[in-house]
Structure 1
Amino acid sequence: MNKIFIIEDDVRIREELSTFLNRYGYESLFSINFENIIEEALKEKPSIILLDINLPYFDGYYICREIRKHSDVPIIVVTSRDSDMDELMSINLGADDFITKPYNTQILLARISSILKRVYGVSRGEILEYRGIIYNMAMSEVTFNNNSLELTKNESRILNILINNNGKIVSRDEIMKTLWQEAEFVDDNTLTVNVNRLRRKLEDLGAINYIQTKRGQGYILI
C-alpha cells in the first residue's frame, strides 16, 4: 500500500484529506509536531508528501528544500497561495507538482496516481484524466466539473479504452473484443447502445461532443 504523508496544519482539511485518501486505498499519515516535521515525514518513508506552504515554525518552501537534501520522495504542494511565483518557487525547490485550494479531489487523485506511475511504475486506483474528465476505474466513476456519475461495467471499459487511445479512432471490433472477448457472438447493436449511454452520461455532466462516431471505422475521444 502506498503511503502518503500529509503536512497540513488545518485540522479539518487534514482529517478530510486523510479520510478521502484512505477511502481510495492509500495509507495516509501525518504529524502535528511541526517543529520537527521534516524528521517526522522522512521517518515514515512515504511514497508521496502532500505539503502546505503556510505552516507553523517553518514554511513549506523551507521544508521542501530541506527534504530534498535527504530524499527524492515526490512532493505535491497543496496550498491556497495561487500566484505564479508560489508555483515557480515550489517547482524550483524540488516539488513535483503544485495544486491550489480549493481543489477538485478527483484531480488530486489523478495527480497522485500519475506521479506514482511515473516514479514507481505503479498506479493506485487507476485514475485517468483527459480534458477535464476524471475517470476512476476502481470506483467505476466519471467526474467532470466537480459532478460525478457511476458507470456500468461496460461503460467503464469503453471509457477506459477510449481515454487510453484518445485522439485515435478505436474500431468497433477492438472495443467489442475488450468487452466481450468473443465479439462474433455479440449483437453489434449492443455496443452502439452502450456507447450511446456513456455519451449521454458525459453530456449530462457537461462534457459535450467528447465521443464522436466515425462511420464505418469506430469511435474517437477528442
Structure 2
Amino acid sequence: MAKIFIVEDNPDIIHSTTQELNKWQHDVITVNNWQNVANEILATNPDLVLFDITLPTFDGFYWIQEVRKHSQVPIIVISAAEIDTNVMHAVAAGANDYIMKPFAMTVLLAKIQALLRRNKQTTDAEEIMWDHNSFNPLTNILTNGNGTAQLTPTEGAMLQVLLSHRNKTVSKEQLLQWLWQGGKYLNENTLNVNISRSRTKGNAFTQNVVSAIDWWKTMNKHYFKLFWRSILLPTIGYLFLLSLIGLLVILYNLPTVFWGDVIRFSLPFFIVWLIGSGAIKYYRLRHLNVSQLDKFTPTNMTEGKPVELLQDEQAKNIDTIRQLQATQHEQLDHLELFTHEIKNYLTSLNAAAENSPIVASTEVKKNIHQANYYLNLLLNDERLAINNHDYDFQWIDIANLINNILQQNSAVFIHKQLIPELTGLDGIKVLTDRKWLHFCIEQLLSNAIKYSVPNSTINISWEMNSLRIVDHGCGISMNDLPRIFDNGFTGKNGHRTTAATGMGLYLVKKVTEHLNFKVSISSVQSKGTTAILSFLPDNIRSSN
C-alpha cells in the first residue's frame, strides 16, 4: 500500500507500530545511521514519515527541517513531550500532524490514512479503479461503463477509506477514526445514516446499469424487428423482378442461361447492398447518445423506433433527476432549519453559563430537551428520506409506550404544570413499528404541550380503534386546519411562538403514509385540539 519511514529510537514502539502497519500492507523502513537521518529518508522516498522528537543525535525538529529543504513528504510527529510547545515547534518545522504518547494505534492509523489520502489527492488525484468501476476522490463521482453516481463529500470519504482497505474488514470505530482525521466529524448515528444512504445510491446506481442494459436489449430487439421489415419490401421487389425476367425468357424462348446469369450477377450485389445498408443503420443507432438526440434525424423506420425509445428514456431520466434535485433541496432546507433550532438552544444554554457560574438545572434540562427534540426530528427526517423500509412490526402495549413517552417528557410537563389523564389504554396492543409509533405519538404530544394553557390537562385515551390526544389550548383556526400537514407550515399559532418549525406534523403524516395507521386532527379555536391515530381492527388486540 504505502512506504512509511519510522524515525524512532524505542525498539518496542518500532516493533508494535511495524506490526500494525504490516497488517495493513504498509512497508516500514527504519533508521540505520542516526548521523544521516535526512539522507536516508530522501534516498528511500517514502510516502509518509513518523518522527519522534527526542532522538539519539539531533532532535526531531532539526531532522524535519532538513527533510523539508528537499521534500514535501507528509510528516507526523510522535512524542511524549509537552504538547502545547511541541505542536508549535513541529508545525513550524514543517510537520503535517502531531500525536501524543501514549496513543491508540487506531488513532495513529487514522491519521496516517487521512494524511496519505490528502497527499494523494493533491499530488496526482488519480481515479481509484476496481472491476469495471472507477471513483474520482476529488469530484466524488462513482463511474461505471453504463452510468455515474454523485456522492456527497462524506460518502466519498467513506468509500475512499473502504476502497483503500479492500478485502479487509473495517469496523465502524476504525471508519469513524479515519473520517475524523480526514476532517469528517461524524457520530455513529450519522455514520449509520450515511452508510444507509450510500447503499441506497449504490442500489440505484446498479439499477441504472441494469436499466441501461435492458434498454439496449429492447432497442436491439426493435432494431432487428424493424430491420427485417425494412428489407422485406426490397427483397419482394427483387424477387418479383427476377420472376418477371424469367417469364420473359419463357415467352420469348430466350436461353435459360440468360436468366441464370442475371441471378448470378445481381444476387451478390443485392446481398452486399442489404448488409451494407443494415450495417450503416446499426452503426448510426449504436453510436447515438443523449447529447446527439436533438440533432439526430431518423432516415427510415428502422432508426425511428429506437430513437423514440431513447427519447422516452431521456424524458424519464430528466424527470428522475428533477425529483432527486427537489428532494435534495428539501433535505438541505430541513437540515438548515433543524440545525438553526438546535444552535438556538445551545446558544441559550451557553449564554446562561457565561452570565452565571451556576446554571439552574431546570434551564439546562429545558434547553437540552428542546435541542434533543429537534435532533430527533432531523435524524428521523433523514431516515424517511433514505426510504429503506427498515420496519419492525410487533405487538406494542399502548399503555406501556405512552407511560414511557410521558416519563421522558416529565420535565416539560412539570415546568408547564400540565397533567396527563389516561383513559382506556390498559390491555390495548397494536401491531406496527415501535420506533415510528413512538415518534408519531411524541410529536403529537409535543404539539399538545406546546399549545396547552398552563395548569390544564392533556387527555390521552383509546376510543373506537383510535388513540386520541386532546389538549385544551388555543386550538387551530379553520383557515389553517387544511394545511397543518404541509411541509414547513406553521400557521397563526406558529407565528405566535418561535418554537414552531412546521415540520412535526409533516413528518408524522409522512410516516403514516408508509405504515398501517392514519393520522387526523380536528380543532375548535380557543377550545383545544384533538389528534387521532387510527388503526385497522386486524392490527388491534384487546384483553378487556
TM above 0.5: yes
Equivalent positions of 1:1-222 (< 5 A) are 1-121=1-121, 137=162, 138=165, 139-142=168-171, 144=173, 162=194, 170=197, 173-174=200-201, 176-177=203-204, 181-182=206-207, 212-214=379-381, 216-218=384-386
> Helix, strand or coil for the counterpart of 2:384?
coil
Separation in structure 2 between the aligned mates of residue 171 and residue 32 of structure 1, nearest angstrom:
46
* Percentage of pairs with the same residue: 32
Counterparts in 2 of 1:140 and 1:33: CA distance versus 1, 3 Å? same
Structure that is richer in strand per residue: 1
| Structure 2 residue ranges without an equivalent (≥5) | 129-153, 178-189, 209-375, 388-544
Counterparts in 2 of 1:171 and 1:77: CA distance versus 1, 3 Å? closer
Counterparts in 2 of 1:173 and 1:46: CA distance versus 1, 3 Å? closer
Structure that is richer in helix per residue: 2
Counterparts in 2 of 1:171 and 1:56: CA distance versus 1, 3 Å? closer
Separation in structure 2 between the aligned mates of residue 47 and residue 96 of structure 1, nearest angstrom:
13
Question: What code does the residue aligned with 2:7 have?
Answer: I
> Helix, strand or coil for the counterpart of 1:115?
helix
Q: Contact between 1:4 and 1:47, CA under 8 Å: does it hold in 2?
A: yes
> Helix, strand or coil for the counterpart of 1:29?
strand
Separation in structure 2 between the aligned mates of residue 173 and residue 36 of structure 1, nearest angstrom:
53
> Helix, strand or coil for the counterpart of 1:103?
coil
Question: What code does the residue aligned with 1:218 have?
Answer: I
Size of the alignment, in residue pairs? 167
Give RMSD over aligned pairs.
3.6
Deviations 1:94-153 (A, max 9, x none): 0011111111212212211221222123799xxxxx9xxx996333232549xx9xxxxx
> Helix, strand or coil for the counterpart of 1:70?
coil
Separation in structure 1 between the aligned mates of residue 198 and residue 6 of structure 2, nearest angstrom:
44
Counterparts in 2 of 1:62 and 1:160: CA distance versus 1, 3 Å? farther
Separation in structure 2 between the aligned mates of residue 171 and residue 142 of structure 1, nearest angstrom:
17
- Equivalent residue for 2:318? none
Separation in structure 1 between the aligned mates of residue 83 and residue 99 of structure 2, nearest angstrom:
11
Deviations 1:15-63 (A, max 9, x none): 1111111110211111242121121121111011100001001100111
Question: What code does the residue aligned with 2:18 have?
Answer: S
Separation in structure 2 between the aligned mates of residue 172 and residue 217 of structure 1, nearest angstrom:
13
Separation in structure 2 between the aligned mates of residue 105 and residue 159 of structure 1, nearest angstrom:
21
Counterparts in 2 of 1:160 and 1:63: CA distance versus 1, 3 Å? farther
Query: Which structure has the bigger radius of gyration?
Result: 2
Higher relative contact order (CA 8 A, sep 6+): 1
Normalised by the length of structure 1, the TM-score is: 0.63
